[in-house]
Chains A and B, each alone.
Chain A
């Protein structure tokens, strides 16, 4: 017997985007208000987990064909790259830099390399969480 969970699936499709954009908001808010790469990553994986609950593992993998282990490695490389970039510039490891830019739509914005590091953390957190959930879920 197959249950019909059309309400769950329909709601999940909408709520996924709400959660995902909330995660993006948390991620960018991290510098001035509570938030940052770690919670941002966790909330993003929550959104994907919601999809997995509503549909199933295989379908979600075909929608988001991401190798999460590669995602972890990429995140680590981004984080280490941000930290080592200052070494090439002749400053101590992990020296961040920032400046103000006039972007077309957003106007005057401060861009900080710490955000890049946070992005690496974000990728690692998403990758690790999803690897754990997927491998346990696939296990027979």
Chain B
């Protein structure tokens, strides 16, 4: 019994509620939103420290005995993700002050952000499969609000597609949970895991595993199911896009990671082989998209797809090194994607266009922006001292250990394409002749946008340089992922 782990979920929820009052008062909205996030970050830090020292924490709602109540479980995996989510939300909200626009701010933008954080954190922390569905809906509902808020033509068009796709995948989620419930008769994740171990995964459970892969793959944008993402993500304004790109697909990735390490571990040759093949094709599809476009937003959006493939490749290895790499890369990717979207947002703000061909010569006028973009781009591709390196190294090492030599080499090769796609932005936008410049640049707005972005890039540098400090947490996370019994014991005993 330990309620502390609920605070990173409850506090944003509570601040979302009180932000619904006073919607026209800008200062109140901004200060309250930031204040709420700061408190949550402090709680998440403390939670990570507790979880790291005392092992996974769990609480079952309403003092019910374990498999019967809703259990919330915080292990190192989820505590790390919760902390990253909150830190990113803090920087993105800060960044939004300069770019989201007064009209949106006065129309429930901040409550929307707070509720999306509630949903994401809840989905990371829950220990009950149906509760996971509920938190998915919480974050999706808020994302529907944020994607359509503002009511521009493109936003209205893309939100229709986005909502349609997500409603279908949510219905599929319910059907899959119903299937699973009819087979194992329980909804608690630890209990499901034990029941599946008892029946040793007959054919029907493999079918359910593939159904789950479809459901979460639709959320996470894996190969045949990523079709909605590029157009849907190009519609909302930059801070919302950063929030979506950094958090939403990663919840799907986390859910695949959780179900495929906790539930479906007895028919690896089928389920994980499928995951491996799909992740490879996802990377190919993402690479093609990232190279094909001359639109800065689209290039980074396709990089989300690539990263999802790389992380899932790590998960598919099912050995400790691979999972450790997947965890490391997951958090790196959340940070760096948020930073890149924010940088791109500044570039778009300065030039007034998203078309690469019209840009040029920003290095002379905005050198700091250029250098920070270069650092972030190298970080994304995995140049050694920066944050993307260790994760990918471990993933590839895991691939070699599992005997997937050629696919691992392919992962390495894909880094080159990633590097090429982001360096292309650098070359076109920052080098060469002076291109188009927006007429509405003003220095204060620019600084407002630049400052949080700069800090976030610095955070990502620390994440790369400080690998030694972060490694123990990742090792702990990977240990829990490879050995479901740690998770199960913590849940089954924690509720008494």
Q: What residues of chain A have their CB less than 8 Å away from a CB belonging to chain B?
A: 69-70, 72-73, 76-77, 80, 84, 87, 91-96
Contact B20 A70 (CB under 8 A): yes
Q: A80-B14, A84-B10 are in contact. Are A95 and B62 (CB under 8 A)?
A: yes
Contact A69 B20 (CB under 8 A): yes
Contact B6 A93 (CB under 8 A): yes
* Residues of chain B from 1 to 54 with CB closer than 8 A to chain A in the complex: 1, 3, 6, 10, 13-14, 17-18, 20-21, 23
Contact B60 A76 (CB under 8 A): no
B61 — which chain A residues lie within 8 A by C-beta?
92-95
8 A-B pairs within 8 Å (CB atoms) are namely A72-B20, A73-B21, A76-B20, A77-B14, A77-B17, A91-B1, A93-B72, A94-B61
When chains A and B are docked, how far (Å) is the Cα of A93 from the Cα of B61? 5
A91 — which chain B residues lie within 8 A by C-beta?
1, 63
* Of A80, A84, A91, A92, most B-chain CB atoms within 10 Å: A92
Main secondary structure of the interface of B (DSSP, over half): helix
When chains A and B are docked, how far (Å) is the Cα of A95 from the Cα of B14? 19
Instruction: Encode B61-92 as 1/0 by CB contact (under 8 A) with A.
Output: 11100000000100000000000000000000
When chains A and B are docked, how far (Å) is the Cα of A93 from the Cα of B59? 8
Q: A84-B10, A92-B1 are in contact. Are A70 and B63 (CB under 8 A)?
A: no
Q: A80-B13, A80-B14, A87-B3 are in contact. Are A96 and B21 (CB under 8 A)?
A: no
When chains A and B are docked, how far (Å) is the Cα of A72 from the Cα of B115? 14
**A73 is contacted by which of B3, B17, B60 (Cβ under 8 Å)?**
B17
B62 — which chain A residues lie within 8 A by C-beta?
92-96
Main secondary structure of the interface of A (DSSP, over half): helix
B60 — which chain A residues lie within 8 A by C-beta?
92
Residue of B nearest to A88 (CB): B3
Instruction: Encode B296-320 as 1/0 by CB contact (under 8 A) with A.
Output: 0000000000000000000000000
Q: A92-B60, A94-B61 are in contact. Are A76 and B10 (CB under 8 A)?
A: no
User: How far, in Å, is A88 (CB) from chain B's closest CB?
Assistant: 9
B6 — which chain A residues lie within 8 A by C-beta?
87, 93
User: How far, in Å, is A92 (CB) from chain B's closest CB?
Assistant: 5
Q: A94-B61, A95-B62 are in contact. Are A73 and B10 (CB under 8 A)?
A: no
Residue of B nearest to A67 (CB): B21
Q: What residues of chain B have their CB less than 8 Å away from a CB belonging to chain A?
A: 1, 3, 6, 10, 13-14, 17-18, 20-21, 23, 59-63, 72
Supplied contacts A92-B62, A94-B61, 16 more A-B pairs, CB within 8 Å: A69-B23, A72-B20, A73-B17, A76-B20, A77-B14, A91-B1, A91-B63, A92-B1, A92-B3, A92-B61, A92-B63, A93-B10, A95-B61, A95-B62, A95-B63, A96-B62
Residue of A nearest to B62 (CB): A94
User: How far, in Å, is B5 (CB) from chain A's closest CB?
Assistant: 10
Residue of B nearest to A81 (CB): B14
User: How far, in Å, is B259 (CB) from chain A's closest CB?
Assistant: 25
When chains A and B are docked, how far (Å) is the Cα of A69 from the Cα of B18? 11
**B17 is contacted by which of A80, A92, A95, A96 (Cβ under 8 Å)?**
A80
B3 — which chain A residues lie within 8 A by C-beta?
87, 92-93
When chains A and B are docked, how far (Å) is the Cα of A69 from the Cα of B19? 11
Residue of A nearest to B63 (CB): A95
Q: A87-B3, A92-B1, A92-B3 are in contact. Are A76 and B59 (CB under 8 A)?
A: no
When chains A and B are docked, how far (Å) is the Cα of A86 from the Cα of B10? 14
Contact B59 A73 (CB under 8 A): no
A76 — which chain B residues lie within 8 A by C-beta?
17, 20
Residue of B nearest to A70 (CB): B21
B63 — which chain A residues lie within 8 A by C-beta?
91-92, 95
* Of A73, A77, A93, A96, most B-chain CB atoms within 10 Å: A93
When chains A and B are docked, how far (Å) is the Cα of A1 from the Cα of B52? 75
User: How far, in Å, is A138 (CB) from chain B's closest CB?
Assistant: 15
A87 — which chain B residues lie within 8 A by C-beta?
3, 6
When chains A and B are docked, how far (Å) is the Cα of A77 from the Cα of B60? 21
Contact B1 A73 (CB under 8 A): no
Residue of B nearest to A114 (CB): B62
Contact B18 A73 (CB under 8 A): yes
User: How far, in Å, is B111 (CB) from chain A's closest CB?
Assistant: 9
A69 — which chain B residues lie within 8 A by C-beta?
20, 23
When chains A and B are docked, how far (Å) is the Cα of A87 from the Cα of B14? 15
When chains A and B are docked, how far (Å) is the Cα of A91 from the Cα of B72? 14
B10 — which chain A residues lie within 8 A by C-beta?
80, 84, 93
User: How far, in Å, is B16 (CB) from chain A's closest CB?
Assistant: 8
B23 — which chain A residues lie within 8 A by C-beta?
69
Residue of B nearest to A79 (CB): B17
User: How far, in Å, is B1 (CB) from chain A's closest CB?
Assistant: 5
Contact B14 A73 (CB under 8 A): no
Residue of A nearest to B72 (CB): A93
B13 — which chain A residues lie within 8 A by C-beta?
80
B59 — which chain A residues lie within 8 A by C-beta?
92-93
User: How far, in Å, is A130 (CB) from chain B's closest CB?
Assistant: 15
When chains A and B are docked, how far (Å) is the Cα of A87 from the Cα of B17? 19
* Of A70, A72, A73, most B-chain CB atoms within 10 Å: A73
When chains A and B are docked, how far (Å) is the Cα of A63 from the Cα of B432? 67
User: How far, in Å, is B193 (CB) from chain A's closest CB?
Assistant: 22
When chains A and B are docked, how far (Å) is the Cα of A94 from the Cα of B63? 8
User: How far, in Å, is B115 (CB) from chain A's closest CB?
Assistant: 10
When chains A and B are docked, how far (Å) is the Cα of A92 from the Cα of B1? 6
When chains A and B are docked, how far (Å) is the Cα of A72 from the Cα of B62? 24
When chains A and B are docked, how far (Å) is the Cα of A93 from the Cα of B18? 20
